[in-house]
Amino acid sequence: MIDHARNVVAPPARLDSHSSFLLRQWPYFVMLALALFGVAYTSVTRQGMTTYWVLLAPIFGAISVAAGWREADDAEAKWRLLRTQALHWGAVLAAMLLVFIGDVSRMMNTDASALTVLTVLALGSFTAGVHADAWRVSLVGVILALGVPAIAWLEESTLMILLVVVVLLAIAAMVFLRDRRPQPG
């Protein structure tokens, strides 16, 4: 009798749950990273990045379509998804461009325009996820929206945060150095 069990190739080892999760969710992490990079870069360099923000809309649109594609049952639903997402992200792109029109951009500094565009992107992501039946895209929108006031607070409070960190480090250094001093006796 021939043992066929030896000829069976063992299945590949499964990725651990964290790696598997990251592999499945990577487009949404990319959306967050790209949006937050834009705000951070604008904040550090104090330069507007109109082209960068304008390119994000189609990227977010493509991710939204890909996320909703699995939920579309037939060709008609897929066509409707493509059409609605194209119109939706076209409107988001138009709103972004309004922020960068000369008269509007002269009224705002680069930080304010970056946060405004991030707000438009957050709203666009949330509603795109609703229309595409892709809750993860909507979640990205919610996270971006929560990031707007957080980023504004961090920019306003950076000096205070730095002061608190320096004071805490000074206290920790004093405690550490006091404990390391040789004890008399």
**Is residue 80 a contact partner of residue 55, using CB atoms and an 8 Å limit?**
no
Distance from first CA to last CA of the chain, Å, rounded?
84
**Is residue 116 a contact partner of residue 99, using CB atoms and an 8 Å limit?**
yes
Instruction: List per-residue pLDDT tens for the chain, 185 residues long.
Output: 554 444 444 444 455 676 777 778 889 999 999 998 988 888 777 776 888 888 999 999 999 999 999 888 899 999 999 999 999 999 999 999 998 887 777 788 878 888 899 999 999 999 999 999 899 999 999 999 999 999 888 877 877 888 888 888 888 888 877 766 666 65
Burial class (CB in 10 A: 0-12, 13-18, 19+), 64: buried
Mapped onto helix, strand or coil, the DSSP state of residue 126 is helix
The pTM of the full predicted model, rounded to 2 decimals, is: 0.73
